[in-house]
Structure 1
Amino acid sequence: MKVYRKYVLLVAWMVLTTVEAFSQSGKANQAVFHHATYVGEDQVYLDNPLGADEFYNPILQGCYPDPSITRKGDDYFMVASSFAMFPGVPIFHSKDLVNWTQIGHVLDRKSQLKVSDAGIAFGIFAPDIKYNPFNDTFYMITTQFAGGIGNMVVKTKDPFQGWSDPIQLKFDGIDPGIFFDEDGKAYVVHNDAPDRGKERYSGHRVIKIWEYDLDKDQVVEGTDKIIVDGGVDPSKNPIWIEAPHIYKKNGAYYLMCAEGGTGDNHSEVIFKSDHPMGTYIPAPSNPILTQRYFGRRSNRVDWAGHADLVLGPDGKYYGVFLGIRPNEKNRVNTGRETFILPVDWSGEWPVFENGLVPLEPKLKMPAGISENKTGQEGFFPNGNFTYTEDFKSERLDFRWIGLRGPREDFMKTTKNGVQITPFPVNIKEVKPTSTLFYRQQHKHFSFTATLDYQPRSERDLAGMVCLQSEAFHYVFGVTKVGDDYLLVLERTEAEGNGRNRKVNSTIIASTQVDLFKPITLQVKATSDDYQFGYATAGGELKNLGGVVSGDILSTNVAGGFTGTLIGLYATSANDILPGNP
């Protein structure tokens, strides 16, 4: 009997030991980030402190391009492009055009957003949000370059409560906008290619209009008409007329579009008609907004355009639009941001106030608005700020996003921080990645996080990624080689295009580290100079890899339309294989 009891106890001990080992092994494959802190400190804000009646421009810093805005009563809602980010189309709410709260995302379900195999510069382009008072419904119309969807519309009675699944629209082209007339009729306008055989030059585009059936939620077949062919002055071969919006004022219809391409020549132009279907006549003083004339300058804002108008709380019109703030090497790492300006529409034609001179970093608040609460009481911050996240809230802040798939598929918040279960997907792949991203919002910033993680093999890695795209990024993380834990810094960049494109990765540096206590990781940038640092066991931060260039984190080098994303990254498909240092 004693032998039997010993045997039973031995078996029980072996089972418990095996379960514990399995449990520890499972834990080792989880990456737990205890907290993250983002600090932005740009000189422009130090040099331009706010007065009591002022607020900063841009109102949304970082990658929030192609803004569109609408109003219902005293409530303003604004959206921006999100490409392959998941959830898609961030949506903001305000009562005064100064203080904004992110209330969620329009496209937050897999049934709405099918970007799992989309490159980062694909997915959702140029959303347009409009409120229809005739059926008390909000519409968001956009182009989804993924999932075989194309142009689509979603609807809601209440933007705080979520949106419908997409309704695919039966027309080609991009940048659709929707307009609701005073008689209850609806129209859709969009950018398209010229009729077959009529393209005159590269970049030649047209604006089309359709009648829209509100009962069927579909354009009316056969009603399409070209209302702008090329742009304001066809004799000058204008390029990329796009992002159209129609407004009605004093019985006339105004068509506002971007022209010149979303780069150095970007601008906003306006046309007028006595009927929504045209004929549209351009204003004699176009463009009504641009920054293309001014060259390099201090606190430079450029590429202004892709605008939308709304009547403000003071009875004056305002326009939101995209712009960029390049760093000292003329590189665009923060991406296209959302700006706002008052619009003078006291005469026949609207004009952005001070939109044809170099833009200033701050504005007067609308008349009657007395409080600037940005960064307080849940309002979105701008200017210089510090944002700290301990990941202990039940609901993760909306600023944290995934890429090509939902955050919830790979992460959960715990009492110790956010736990990421790594996918067998490398950051170089065009698949959903197990990465929580935060947008870079300043030229001068630091981003610091503490990681608790012990990789089991060289296939495991967790840490940070600074990403412009799947082919242009830095990875800064810990992996295992033999019995050693190594911290590695890798630079990835592509050369060539199409089938000739080649992606090259270079290990900048690596060092052996102790992971039996959490490791602190940091990336910081001073304009175009990026540095990666680490600290173990609560020690001082040490640099790894010296100063590296932010060139591959700019749209100038990487292309596309996004800004730099800073990610908390974990993978079980690591391919960074340094030798022992």
Structure 2
Amino acid sequence: MSTPKQAGSRQAGRRGLFKLALAGAGAAAAAPFAASAAGAEQAAGAAYGIEGQRKADLGNGTFINPIVSGDHPDPTILKDGDDYYMTFSSFFSYPGVVIWHSRDLVNWAPICAALTKPLGSVWAMDLVKHEGRYYIYIPASPNGESAIFVIYADDIRGPWSEPVDLKIAGCIDPGHAVGEDGKRYLFMNGVRRIALADDGLATAGKLEHVYDPWRYPEDWVVEMFAPEGPKLFRRGKWFYLVSAVGGTSGPPTSHMVTVARSASIHGPWQNCPHNPIVRTQSADEPWWSRGHATVIEGPGGDWWMVYHGYENGFRTLGRQTLLEPVEWTTDGWFRARGGTLAKPMPKPKGGRACPSGHALSDDFSSDRFGVQWSFFAPGPNEAQRARYDGNSLVIQGKGASAADCSPLTCIVGDRDYEASVVLEMSGGAQGGLLLYYSQRAYCGIGFSAEQMFTYHCSEEQGWMREKMDVKAVHVKVANRANIVTFHYSHDGKKWIKHPWQMEVSGFHHNVFGGFLSLKVGIYSAGKGQVRISQFRYRGLPPA
């Protein structure tokens, strides 16, 4: 992440919209696409999993990046016995801080969301376990200024505590560490450090500068210096400090991974002679701006790095999660061994493949809000807008149009995909299907009971309004390599192609800021309600 980034609790027994589970998409929802997904299994040297979505595990002992596709930036990963847990920046989406599980570092599936209380934008966290308790240290901007919070749980699946404000102003990217004396610390961008109380829920000292990060040559093409993302681990006699410089966006050759080490948590820190450990050196490479790494021991004793990067030609997908092997050198440093990540690599030794990915399709037959869904920039009472009713989700309108309605969104990770939904508007509401980056960048089509609306270039195109009688409408979007086509139908059988095919390759951070991605969104605006049913998603093989 670059500085500053603009982009909880699960209480026991809490019901309704924010009761989180994986039941949001059942077998009935996935079934219609099973055949087409299976037919695409090995297209273009890739594997396809649930609903035809990208899958890292190629099924032959190798894997191909990304290990978690779509917008999953700033990964923080925890090894807990035979299990691995990981979470990512979730920014303005709530429920947020979704935790994923794996036992082989390649196959990942979400298990819960840890944060439901809005804190503004949240990003670049650190997930740790200390003396049997789990903690997530969270940078957030509830009032527009960065602050550090912590939530904790005795079970990784929750319930998670309410956020505790550590009252650390002006810092981001916390990295938890335990010194040789057993004392706890947070390292942050800069690189700065502050001591923590033994329970990890308060500070126990002053913020201090502890390390001058390694500097790249002046003629390198980067965004900015921006030392950030410190993550620490101990191996043998050394503490290793893994951090990033160069900026997470901007030119493709910006972000990079650097390493320093010390025999004491108090320093002095020695820069690695091999820095940077990872860096995109050319815009021709498949992954850009690779950085924000955590180093982790694999299930079989080998070592790996997990970090994020933009996919060449698909910044719209956000920063995706990447896995790269490392090897230890005789002088006690380590080197990256994955090259440009262009080719499949052997999977980590040992471990066991667990379920991978999760269905995005939703038949709304359960009164549970699946982890694929989140409201964008919700207010404190956003959950009250929605209720389950039969096999549908009814959402009260908000705002006047797609521009100011906090749409319901889900992250997608496929280069090519298709999504559809059935909408029924009542009481003067307007509802529709969007591809949504932020309030500044979106496109889609919407309907009231009397007319159709077209949104492109982040505004309604009034000249394209079309009068029509609408009771219920089926809406479908296909995105093929950033070329977007909408269809609609009044009966689900005869489809009408919307006349405007939209090009969306520029809907990303370098144009609109925010460090986000282009998501599928469903919106409900106005004074009435929109009834949502039969949401279907499938990844498509390359054309």
Normalising by structure 1, what TM-score? 0.76
Residue 544 (structure 1) aligned with residue 498 (structure 2): yes
Residue 353 (structure 1) aligned with residue 322 (structure 2): no
- Contact map agreement 1:35 1:449 (CA 8 A) in 2: no
- Contact map agreement 1:86 1:407 (CA 8 A) in 2: no
How far the C-alpha of 1:228 sits from its partner, in A, is: 2.6
How far the C-alpha of 1:414 sits from its partner, in A, is: 2.9
Paired residue secondary structure (1:452) = strand
How far the C-alpha of 1:417 sits from its partner, in A, is: 1.9
Paired residue secondary structure (2:464) = strand
1:188 counterpart residue number: 186
Paired residue secondary structure (2:173) = strand
Gap change, CA 1:95 and 1:189, over 3 Å in 2: same
Residue 398 (structure 1) aligned with residue 398 (structure 2): no
- Contact map agreement 1:188 1:212 (CA 8 A) in 2: yes
2:135 counterpart residue number: 139
Residue 488 (structure 1) aligned with residue 477 (structure 2): no
Residue 438 (structure 1) aligned with residue 434 (structure 2): no
Tell me which amino acid in the other structure corresponds to 1:174.
Answer: I
For residues 357-390 of structure 1, the C-alpha deviation after alignment (integer angstroms, 9 at most, x for no partner) is 321364322223464x55xxxx315xxxx74321
Identity, % of aligned positions: 24
- Contact map agreement 1:472 1:552 (CA 8 A) in 2: no
Tell me which amino acid in the other structure corresponds to 1:294.
Answer: S
Residue 519 (structure 1) aligned with residue 473 (structure 2): yes
How far the C-alpha of 1:550 sits from its partner, in A, is: 0.5
2:535 counterpart residue number: none
Gap change, CA 1:547 and 1:44, over 3 Å in 2: farther
For residues 531-558 of structure 1, the C-alpha deviation after alignment (integer angstroms, 9 at most, x for no partner) is 1111122333221133111045222322
Gap change, CA 1:98 and 1:403, over 3 Å in 2: same
Gap change, CA 1:144 and 1:289, over 3 Å in 2: same
How far the C-alpha of 1:346 sits from its partner, in A, is: 4.7
Choose from 85, 91, 98 the match for 2:99: 91
1:175 counterpart residue number: 173
1:509 counterpart residue number: 464
Paired residue secondary structure (1:124) = coil
1:244 counterpart residue number: 230
Distance 1:100 1:320 in 2: 13
Distance 1:334 1:216 in 2: 35
- Contact map agreement 2:241 2:260 (CA 8 A) in 1: yes
Residue 209 (structure 1) aligned with residue 186 (structure 2): no
Distance 1:404 1:547 in 2: 28
2:115 counterpart residue number: 107
- Contact map agreement 2:114 2:158 (CA 8 A) in 1: no
Distance 1:508 1:465 in 2: 19
Distance 1:266 1:411 in 2: 40
Distance 1:248 1:565 in 2: 38
1:154 counterpart residue number: 151
Tell me which amino acid in the other structure corresponds to 2:455.
Answer: E
In structure 2, runs of 5+ residues without a counterpart are 1-27, 47-57, 529-543
2:17 counterpart residue number: none
Paired residue secondary structure (1:270) = strand
Paired residue secondary structure (1:175) = coil
Gap change, CA 1:40 and 1:295, over 3 Å in 2: farther
1:227 counterpart residue number: 210
How far the C-alpha of 1:75 sits from its partner, in A, is: 1.9
Distance 2:311 2:42 in 1: 13
- Contact map agreement 1:149 1:168 (CA 8 A) in 2: no
Residue 52 (structure 1) aligned with residue 60 (structure 2): yes
2:276 counterpart residue number: 287
Choose from 311, 315, 325 the match for 2:297: 311
Gap change, CA 1:422 and 1:476, over 3 Å in 2: same
Distance 1:573 1:149 in 2: 34
Residue 126 (structure 1) aligned with residue 131 (structure 2): no
Gap change, CA 1:78 and 1:542, over 3 Å in 2: same
Superposed CA RMSD? 2.9
Count the aligned residue pairs: 476
Paired residue secondary structure (1:340) = strand
Distance 2:41 2:215 in 1: 35
Distance 1:407 1:422 in 2: 11
1:7 counterpart residue number: none
For residues 321-352 of structure 1, the C-alpha deviation after alignment (integer angstroms, 9 at most, x for no partner) is 1111133xxx5111111111222135411222
Tell me which amino acid in the other structure corresponds to 1:380.
Answer: G
1:559 counterpart residue number: 513
- Contact map agreement 1:40 1:444 (CA 8 A) in 2: no
- Contact map agreement 1:82 1:124 (CA 8 A) in 2: yes
Matches of residues 329-368 of structure 1 in structure 2 within 5 Å?
332-347=315-330, 348-354=332-338, 357-360=339-342, 362-368=344-350
Normalising by structure 2, what TM-score? 0.81
Distance 2:496 2:109 in 1: 37
- Contact map agreement 2:245 2:257 (CA 8 A) in 1: yes
Compare CA radii of gyration and give the structure with the larger one.
Answer: 1
Tell me which amino acid in the other structure corresponds to 1:168.
Answer: D
